[in-house]
Structure 1
Amino acid sequence: MAASALRADGGFVLLDSQPRRTRWWALGLGVLAATGFQPFGLWPLALLAGGLFALIAARSGGWREAALLGWLFGMGHFTLGNSWIATAFTYQAEMPAVLGWLAVPVLSVYLAIYPALAAGAARALGRAGPGWAFALIFAGCWIVAEWLRSWVFTGYAWNPFAMVLLGPFERPGLALLAPFMGTYALSGLAMLLGWVLVALARARKWGLLAGGAALLVAGMYLPQPALRETDLALTVVQPDIAQDRVHEPAFYEDHFRRLASNSLPKTPGERRIVLWPESGMVDYLQEGYPQRYYDSTTAFGSPVLARRRLAGAIGRNALLMTGAVDLEIGEEDGLIRALGARNAVTVLDDKGDIVGSYAKAHLVPFGEYLPLRWLLEPLGLSRLVPGAIDFWPGPGPRTFDFGAYGKAAIQICYEIVFSGEVVEQGTRPDYIFNDSTDGWFGAFGPPQHFAQARMRAIEEGLPVLRSTTTGISGVIDAHGVVRQHLGMRVEGRIDGKVPAAAAPTLFSRFGNGLGLAWAGLALLAGLIALRRRAG
């Protein structure tokens, strides 16, 4: 270690502060901070890494150096946290699979801008060094940066740092604070907690450090709240359709068999909802398309007969919510054809009639559409989902009133990660249905995706019912506790009752404005403390 190492007054060395080596520290701390996410779940290590990063940002030579350190931290953090993206490239043939391992760091180059903004802004505002004032300012800046990441350029809200505070399946952990803060403010709190641990270690206050660590552990393992259920029965189906077979016509009937056999009523005539995943069923269910589209994918070449077959699988008094694809038909070059598609959930009653339809609003760039297609397609780039037409976005969150089957909000796949954007304002549902295809994303992506669905349940105080092709499917109550689940690469069904919704949360009323208010309070408190210390 260099002579200029970061020390407490007693000489306790924490980090090397020589500029070149400090940059390597920032990169490495970003990697360590990502181990708090699933499937690792090493939240103590993540908190310490976050606190140490805040410390070296505070001791940097100025805001430019702090921003560089933030960018390096983000590079390490997002490269590990998003490594599952590389796996998606192995399930398409239009581009070399090796591009996946290039795509992850390229994406991280952009995402790392947000930790850079947080660190640079905090260093500019809290320029007096690593005190409590800086810690509060840093937390406030981190909140704002994560909020920006969630919507700038359509947003990429995957893995906010708050996810390290989510407990194991049977316990909400410190994420139980999310109803009062929102996810992005909880991220700022996580960074602040890491700072506290590091500050106590630097000051050699071992008793306080041990006490604080004990409180953190107690918070992460608080007993689960009592389960409250409604009288509405549910069946969640997980067909375990391998990703490389999803779009293969030779397996379409096998897909239906798996879905149907796991959907048959155990109690004939019972009122229940049946939930099928995204991409499990390939039939076009809407009418009015040119016949050639039905002939290529739809059972009996008829959307009416296909819907009746689905109704027969669920039985009397059941309501089916299934992933589907809808087409936008129009004329181009004198030919009536599909101009675009919608990633949809179609809702059918027990007669096969369509009683509701939702189209995905948050589409995945390069997954469901190719940005700047006119430029990138001639260069050999393509989207990951097969097909020559792009998906079109839907209008956004909606609440569907299905009468005796409850009020449902629907979020398709990736949409569930967007804090504050999963429920239609002013029309509170009884539950959220999240269908997904997670077979693209290897071992890391599905548990991270499931964890973020849990966070939405906690924030909104609403149960989340999740059906996926290959896992993880589950029933999550309004406190984020996983009441039942099916793991990865398992075929099966979950039967039970829909958990009851909690009372509307503070976050459900104010959305991300609540998190920004916490950011403002943290910044104000930090700036006041800074001014008093200067005075």
Structure 2
Amino acid sequence: MKFLIAVIVGALSAFAFQPFGLWPLMPVAFAILAGLVASAPRMRAALALGWGFGLGQFCVGLNWIATSFTYQAAMPAWLGWLAVVLLSLYLAVYPMLATGLAWRIGRRQPIALVFALAAGWILCEYLRAGIFTGFAWNPVGVTLVSTPLRRASGFIGTYGLSGLTVLIGGALWLGMRSLRDAGVTLTVPLAAGLATFLLPHAPDRQGPALRIVQPNIGQDSKWQPGAAATAEARLLSLSGTPGVEPRLVMWPEAAVTAPLEDNRNGAAPFVAQQRAAIVRALGPNDLLLTGGLGVRSTDGQTAAGVRNSLFVFAPSGQLLSRYDKAHLVPYGEYLPMRPILSRLGLSRLAPGDVDFDPGPGPQTLTLPGFGRMGLQICYEIIFSGEVVDRAHRPDFLFNPSNDAWFGRWGPPQHLAQARLRAAEEGLPVVRSTPTGISALVDADGRLLKSLEWREPGQIDAHLPAARAPTPFARFGNLLPLLFAFGLLFVGLWRGREPISK
């Protein structure tokens, strides 16, 4: 019965994430989870409770993954729901480890259990983001993105926010047993909230003009015959008429489906024609940022590899710089264990038999007349602490994305995670997606402008200023890890005290 309660509570907690954003549900869920773990008679029961909680949360919160399978004719749609369940069965191992740690340290002392659970959650989310290429989607701290506490991520990162969420929930549970213990626990979130006042706000000055384009081109029509010409016309139309002021015109990931770089024999004239076509909407001082494909050939005939890239073009069609996506999506951009899985009839979700090659990682590109830009293509933006070249800090982050795969729940969840990257790093974030949600986020993580899901249009705005590098921008995930070990120390210390009733 307790295991079933943990699964149900975990499932309900998923509504704290976007698109519902009912963030108080998450602390309440952790209050219930803490009570269940405290009553567990053995370690095995505590582990099962954490696994059940995670299973319920991931199955509901990641339902959008099933939608992505509907775009690949080679795979039956039901396989998408199987993928959600199988992935959740694995991801639930991390909450399981956190509850096991909490029970081991705090089974005799409730306040020790809460501090150990918060520490374990931080550590396990950090591990989840790195093991087996990592899957950092929906850390529980992202539910605080609509609250002032999001600015605390500038000190303790997203995983630290997850720890605060657990502590708030633990304080609710402790309050039914000991107001003193609840008050002690709440001092940590309160201190984090007060610390945010030490972070300076971004200067109130405007940067270059932006034109963010959202063409509303769905994945189901993207690769149809004649779709490329239709997409090009819509992108050019939404790019608007150039004026006197220089603009950054920003198109989504894979906005252009034909290769924009290709070293195969005879490809150069076609590439030049493509480049000339897409820069027609630019004024003499504008730049175009567009997602596209780069094809690599070793024999001049066949494609040996493809890169998912962001290209920067001058009005002449000259390629000024390029960024290649580094953190690729398993099954979306490459098929793991291809020789085995392809024989079983499985394929990538994206069209094509050639897997994408990974790029070198975070880079800062200099845009003549517009400053320094960091790039994170689509999925890459979810990895806390891995989005900026710290040796060459940019002025802003551009996150071209293709959220057309992600159903109704995925795009708002993706945007929420991008907002936390802004608050962590103290950098504005610009998003352009084909079907939404395109947005402009300031350096405090506030949503300034956005286009709704499935709404064609454009955003005209000026780039907000960055703020001084936050502590997290300087030290990255070392800070949430130190925070976790601090909480763990408190849990171990309090766990040695006599049993409290």
Q: TM-score normalized by structure 1?
A: 0.88
The equivalent position to 1:235 in structure 2, one of 190, 202, 211, is: 211
Contact 2:263–2:295 under 8 Å retained in 1? no
The secondary structure found in structure 1 opposite 2:24 is helix
Paired residue total:
492
Which segments of 5 or more consecutive residues in structure 1 lack a partner in the other structure?
A: 1-20, 295-300
Q: 1:166 aligns to what? A: 145
**3-state SS of paired residue (1:23):** helix
- SS of alignment partner, residue 76 of structure 1: helix
Q: By how many angstroms is 1:519 displaced?
A: 0.4
Q: Within the alignment, does 1:120 sit opposite 2:100 as a pair?
A: yes
1:198 shift after superposition? 2.2
**Partner in structure 2 of residue 362 of structure 1:** 327
Q: Would you say 1:254 and 2:240 are equivalent positions?
A: no
Alpha-carbon distance, 1:518 to partner: 0.1
The answer on 1:188 being equivalent to 2:154 is no
Matched, 1:325 2:293: yes
Matching of residue 142 in structure 1 with residue 118 in structure 2: no
Q: 1:315 aligns with which of 277, 283, 287?
A: 283
SS at match of 1:336: coil
User: Which residue is 1:449 aligned to?
Assistant: 414
1:223-302 → structure 2 map (5 Å cutoff)? 228-268=204-244, 270-291=245-266, 302=270
SS at match of 2:84: helix
Contact 2:203 2:466 in 1 (8 A): no
CA contact (8 A) 2:435 2:456 kept: yes
Alpha carbons 1:246, 1:280 under 8 Å: kept: no
Within 2, Cα distance between the matches of 1:61 and 1:330?
Answer: 62
What SS does structure 1 have at the residue aligned with 2:399?
strand
Tell me whether 1:383 sits opposite 2:383 in the alignment.
no
1:132 maps onto 2:100 in alignment = no
Q: Give the superposition deviation at 1:92.
A: 1.3
Q: CA deviation at 1:202?
A: 4.7
Deviation at 1:328, TM superposition (A): 1.7
Task: Tell me if the contact between 2:105 and 2:495 (Cα under 8 Å) persists in the aligned partners.
Answer: no
Partners of 2:304 and 2:202 in 1: how far apart? 50
Native 8 Å contact 1:260 1:314 kept in 2? no
Residue in 1 that maps onto 2:152: 177
SS in structure 1 of the partner of residue 358 of structure 2:
coil
Q: Provide the C-alpha distance between the structure 2 equivalents of 1:403 and 1:228, rounded to a whole number of angstroms.
A: 23
Q: Is the 8 A contact 1:51 1:197 kept in 2?
A: yes
Partner of 1:17: none
Q: Provide the residue aligned with 1:342 in structure 2.
A: 307
1:89 equivalent in structure 2: 69
Find runs of 4+ consecutive structure 1 residues off by over 6 angstroms: 224-227
Name the residue aligned to 1:16.
Answer: none
Q: Show CA shifts across 1:469-502 (max 9, x none).
A: 0000011000111111111111111111001001
How far off its partner does 1:203 sit?
5.1
Q: Distance in 2 between matches of 1:349 and 1:528?
A: 61
- CA shift at 1:308, angstroms? 2.0
On the 8 A contact 2:210/2:248 being kept in 1, the answer is yes
Separation (CA, whole Å) in 2 of partners of 1:202 and 1:414: 42
Residue 109 of structure 1 deviates from its aligned partner by: 0.7
**Alignment TM-score, normalising by the size of structure 2:** 0.93
Q: Kindly state the Cα deviation for residue 310 of structure 1 after the two structures are TM-superposed.
A: 2.0
Secondary structure of the residue aligned to 2:281 is helix
Question: Would you say the 8 A contact 2:201–2:467 is kept in 1?
Answer: no
Measured in 1, the distance between the counterparts of 2:64 and 2:388 equals 27
Q: For structure 2, which runs of at least 5 residues remain unmatched after alignment? A: none
Shift of 1:58: 2.3
Identity %: 46
SS of equivalent residue, structure 2 residue 308: strand
